[in-house]
Structure formats: structure tokens, C-alpha cells
Amino acid sequence: MNIQKIIESLSPHERKILPYLKEKNISEICEKSELDKTSVLRALEYLKNKGIVELSFEKKKIIELGVNGALYKKKGLPERRLMNLLDNKKILNMEEAQKQSSLSNEEFKASLGALKKKAIIELKNQKIMLNTNKEEIAKKTLEEQFIEILPTEYESLSPEQLYAIKSLQNRKDIIQIKEEKQATIKITELGKEISNSKIKNENSIEQITPKILKKESLWKGKKFRRYDVTSPVPLINGGKQHFVNQSLDYARKIWTEMGFQEMTGNIIDTGFWVFDALFTPQDHPGREMQDTFFINKKAELPDKKLVNAVRDAHEKGVGGSKGWQYKWDEEVAKKMVLRSHTTNLSAKTLAKLKKEDLPAKFFALGKVLRNETVDWSHGFEFYQTEGIVVDENANFRHLLGYLKQFYTKMGFEKIRFAPAYFPYTEPSVEIHVWHPEKKVWLELGGAGIFRPEISIPLLGKKVPILAWGQGFDRIIMDYYKIKDLRELYKNDLTKLRKMKHWMK
């Protein structure tokens, strides 16, 4: 692009700041061009893209006046006003001194402290006595001198000025320290050549609008500003799903492709569905306050037939089981809790199934809550994915097959199973996946076949029910290489914009 074409591509703001590019800083360019800081910075970026200037930015600490600082710069610091009053009186009663100086309680106390520290005054019997002469009073303190030079750069301060900062920082809203990007502008050879050229401030058309297009006289014979379509533009970050929601949608897609129907339900439920229907005894430690969030409410239980079947499983046992051999209490089962797993959805789904519905496959993906101390590896809420397969012909090998297929689709290449114990499945198994970076096997969840004490009360007969439940947050952390669980729920826009799309 030749010089004339570059000149023709200059916007009104670029033309305005061209004569002032030799100024020391952005503020001076703003003042002389009568443009705001944002407009000047944007124009400089455009000039940089055209090779007219070179821009570099450096972070610097800037000390500025606070709200009170701006007031004190005009009226004087509170201690200066008190000193001027004492210069005429020498000795003053404290109450009278505050009244005559028109200082607030806070300002008066700060003034006394500052003057006493410098041995300018002495306090005795509720009186203020001046300890210095008129010449000393006339001298400006370090704090006063410092306020007068603000704003200024932190790096340029002398040791005395640093001392003044420490004194002023202890007082409310006198100074504030900000970190700002400061631009250094260097005019290139091309820039010098263009600056020396005669640039006419022509009223060229900046933007084609419907109004201009409708009326020929508004555009015919007029000059249009030239645009450089190859010039780089700022990155635009469009809206997108949070990466956690992307991960959840991907997992739902896998389960539905495998023929599963989704189970959903409320986070708040009765202890009956969260614990009792799953054959968890009412004195089990997991039901205590240290693990479960209890709500100070009770709810009605389902129909009597189902309640009695669960009662029998606990008290006497079913299907050859001896049960827990204790007195089961309906009132305990009525207590409401925040679900500590999504298996309550499996229990509710099983209770609704009819003979003609079998075989059936269901999955759940939702939040669960536990009374945990929050740190890098624990949270009081997390996502869990749940699944059940109800089929007369289902067996343990089918269970392993479903789990292997799910984790393979989730991107894990090496998967293994290990024997385990869980309260409501027998046999039970843990799922481990290989972590290629850490070179270790990670445990991601548990699974098994529901015990007859669950299947018989809920279904009315003993049917093989394959079941599993896994913490889903660990899978997300592994995929995104996140080391702290809390990062999943921080709304850091810069990080969120950089997050890759799940499985892309």
C-alpha cells in the first residue's frame, strides 16, 4: 500500500492524533487532540497496524489522590488546619480546638496523632500546646509536599516520599495506588514521512448506512474512506457453553446412544429414598450430620405396601437375607435431606416399573451434596453419573461391558476393574483408568449388582439389576488437566475463553 492509500485509509481520530505523536504520554495526546483515552488508544492501535507507529506497553504503579486527598489538596491536610489555628492561640482546649477547626472526629484524631509524632504539639490535661515556632509551622510537611505532586509513578519516588506514602496510606482515602499500562510511542520512518505530508481533513464517508444508500445525493461524487481488509482486528470472544455443561451434555449423548433413558429428580428428598429403600440401616454412620445435610422438615412416605416391604427388608430380611434385625422407624425415614448420591433416582424409577416395562436401562447425571470441608480435592457439591440395567438375563459380564464402553467413549484408553465392597451391591467392583502423565491407575467409581433387599421390595421380585455411580467431576478434571476442584466453578472469563471444547 503506497503512502497516498495509507493516508486515505486514516480515520478522523487517527488524523487528529497524528500531529501529537511526539508527545511524552497518552494524557498529553488526549489533551491536545481533545479525544478521550479510549479513542486515542484505539487510534494508536490502528496506526500501529498500518506501520506508522511502534507501540510498547509497560505496567507501572501510579499513585493518585483519593476522594479525601483531592479535598485536602485544596483545603490543606487536617493537621495543617489545626497547626494554623494553634499558631494564633499557642494553647487550646481539645474540645474547643476541634470545634474551631471544623474537623470531624476522625480527622481531629488523625491530626493529633500526626502532629504529636513529629513533636509539633504536646497533649496535657485535655489541652493542646504548640511546641514549635512560626518558621517551623510555615514549612510544609513531607505529606503536604507529596500530595502536591500527585499523580506520580511509584518507581520514581525518593526515600522521603516513600515515608510520606506510608504515613498517608494509614489514613482514609487520601491516596490510592493503581497499576496501569503505560504506552511508549515510537514513530516509524513511514510515520515520519506521512506526518510530513500534507493531509487534508476531507469529509470522507466513514460508514455506508441505509440512509446514504436511499438518497443518491448523499453518496454520489463523495469520497469513501479506504479500508485495509488485511489489517488485524481485536479478538472477539463469542458466547459459548461453560466447559462443565459441555462435558455433561457429552456424557448424556453417550448414555442415550447406548439406549439409556434419563432419570431426573429433586435435590431434596426423604431419607426413605436416599437411604432406606437402598437398604442403608437407620443407624449407619453415613446418615449422620457429618456426611449428610438434613433439612428441618419431614415429608410423607409412599404407599403402605412399599413402605412395609422396605420395613421387612430391614427388620427381618427378604430373599434369604436376615436383614438388619432392628426396629425400623417411619419417622426417621420421613426426614428430608439433600441427596448425597443420585441412587435415590434409581430407587424411585425401580418402584414405578411394571413387568411389561422390562428389560429397561436408565441413567442419571446430576449434583449431589455432602458435608465436606472444601479444598483442592473435595467439595460439598459435585456431579455424579448413575446407571441401572434391569433385565432377567443380565449378568456381571454385561455390567463390565457397559462400563468399559462408557469410559472408552469418554476418552480413556486403558480401563481395569478391581473387586470391591459397597453396602447395596453384591458382587461389587471398582473402575480404574490409567493416567498417562502421572503413570498411575485412578479410581473413578463403583458398581455392582443390587442386593435382593433392594430389588425385591422395589420390584416385587428378585431380578438382576446392574448398577453404578461415579463422581463425574474427576473425569472433567482429568480431561481439562485441572489440578484444583474449585477451578471447575470459578467464573474467570479469561480462562473460560481459552478452554477447549469437550472432545474437539
- 298-335 residue pLDDT tens: 999 999 999 999 999 999 989 888 999 999 999 999 99
Q: Are residues 361 and 494 in the same domain?
A: yes
CB 153 within 8 A of CB 14: no
Per-residue pLDDT tens digits for 339-353:
999 999 999 999 999
Residues 343 and 488 occupy one common structural domain: yes
Residue 229 pLDDT exceeds 80: no
Verify that 330 and 465 share a domain, yes or no: yes
Span 467-477, mean pLDDT?
87
| Domain limit, last residue, from 110, 125, 140 | 140
In a domain, 465, yes or no: yes
pLDDT of the residue at 197: 75
Cα–Cα dist 122/469, whole Å:
75
pLDDT at residue 362, as a whole number:
96
Q: Does residue 217 sit within a domain?
A: no
Is 429 in contact with 468 (CB distance < 8 Å)?
A: no
Name the region of 28 (left: φ>0; alpha: ψ -120 to 50; beta: rest).
alpha
Counted residue by residue, the chain has a size of: 504
What average pLDDT does range 439-453 have in this prediction?
89
Q: What is the pLDDT of residue 262?
A: 95
Looking at the structure, do residues 293 and 407 belong to the same domain, yes or no?
yes
134 and 250 inside one domain: no
The phi and psi torsions of 457 (rounded to 5 degrees) equal -65, -35
Kindly state whether residue 489 falls inside one of the protein's structural domains.
Answer: yes
pLDDT over 80 at 273, yes or no: yes
- Co-location of 133 and 253 in the same domain: no
To which residue does cell 484505539 refer? 42
Distance CA 29, CA 38 (A): 12
User: Using a CB cutoff of 8 Å and minimum separation of 24, what contacts does 150-158 make?
Assistant: 150/63, 150/64, 150/65, 150/69, 150/73, 150/175, 151/62, 151/63, 151/64, 151/65, 152/62, 152/63, 153/60, 153/61, 153/62, 153/63, 154/60, 154/61, 154/62, 154/63, 155/60, 155/61, 157/63
pLDDT digits (tens, 9 = 90+) for 128-185: 888 877 777 777 788 888 888 888 888 888 888 888 888 888 888 888 888 877 788 8
CA distance 360 to 161: 78
**What integer pLDDT is reported at residue 448 of this predicted model?**
94
CA neighbor of 269 nearest in space, from 320, 357, 333, 176: 333
C-alpha cell at 355: 413387568
Percent of the chain residues topping a pLDDT of 70: 96
Classify residue 33: in a domain, yes or no: no
pLDDT tens-place string over residues 406-437: 988 888 888 999 999 988 899 999 999 887 77
Same domain, 276 and 389: yes
Is residue 127 assigned to a domain? Answer: yes
Domain boundary residue, one of 110, 140, 170: 140
Residue 350 zone, left/alpha/beta (φ > 0; ψ -120 to 50; rest):
alpha
Residue 261 domain-assigned (yes or no): yes
Amino acid type, 432:
H
What the block records as the C-alpha cell of 434 is 490409567
Compute the C-alpha angle 339/428/449, nearest 5°: 75
Over residues 365-377, mean pLDDT: 84
Whether residue 500 is predicted with pLDDT greater than 80 in this model: the reply is: no
- How many separate domains does the chain show? 2
Q: From start to end of 47-147, where are the E strands? A: 53-65, 91-93, 121-124, 127-130
Q: Give the residue from 332, 294, 290, 288 showing the smallest Cα distance to 310.
A: 332
Mean pLDDT value of segment 467-496: 83
The residue behind cell 449378568 is 395
Q: At what angle do helices 105-117 and 78-89 cross, to 10 degrees?
A: 70
pLDDT at 498: 78
CA atoms within 13 A of residue 116's CA, in its CB half-sphere: 11
* 130-146 tens-digit pLDDT: 887 777 777 778 888 88
- Does some domain include residue 237? no
- CATH assignment of the domain containing 363: 3.30.930.10
Residue 393 lies inside a defined structural domain of this protein: yes
Q: Distance between CA 53 and CA 47 in Å, rounded?
A: 6
CB neighbour class for 412 (10 Å; exposed up to 12, middle 13-18, buried from 19): buried
- Starting from the edge strand earliest in sequence, which strands make up the sheet with 425-435, in order? 261-262, 360-369, 381-390, 465-471, 440-450, 425-435, 415-422
With the C-alpha atoms ordered 406, 407, 413, 418, is the resulting torsion angle positive or negative?
negative
- Please compute, for residue 336, the number of CA atoms within 13 A of its CA located in the half-sphere on the CB side: 10
Which pairs with CB-CB distance under 8 Å and at least 24 residues apart come from 163-172? 165/63, 167/114, 167/142, 167/143, 168/69, 168/143, 171/68, 171/110, 172/66, 172/68, 172/106
pLDDT number for residue 59: 84
* Residue 96: CATH number of its domain: 1.10.10.10
Q: Point out which residues pair with 364 in neighbouring strands.
A: 386
Q: Report d(CA 430, CA 449) in Å as an integer.
A: 12
Residue that terminates a domain, selected from 112, 140, 168? 140
Expressed as residue numbers, the domain containing 363 is 245-498
Mean pLDDT of 201-230: 78
> Cα(406)–Cα(389) distance, rounded to whole angstroms?
14
**Per-residue cell: 328:** 425400623
Which has more confidence, 502 or 272? 272
What's the pTM value of the predicted model, to 2 decimals?
0.59
Radius of gyration of the chain (CA): 38
Task: Report pLDDT for 336.
Answer: 94
Range of lowest pLDDT (15-29, 61-75, 133-147) = 133-147
Rounded CA separation 86/253 (Å): 81
Share above pLDDT 90 across residues of the chain, in percent, rounded to a whole number: 30
The β-bridge partners of 382 are: 368
Are 261 and 116 contained in the same domain?
no
Q: Grid cell 403402605 — which residue?
A: 304
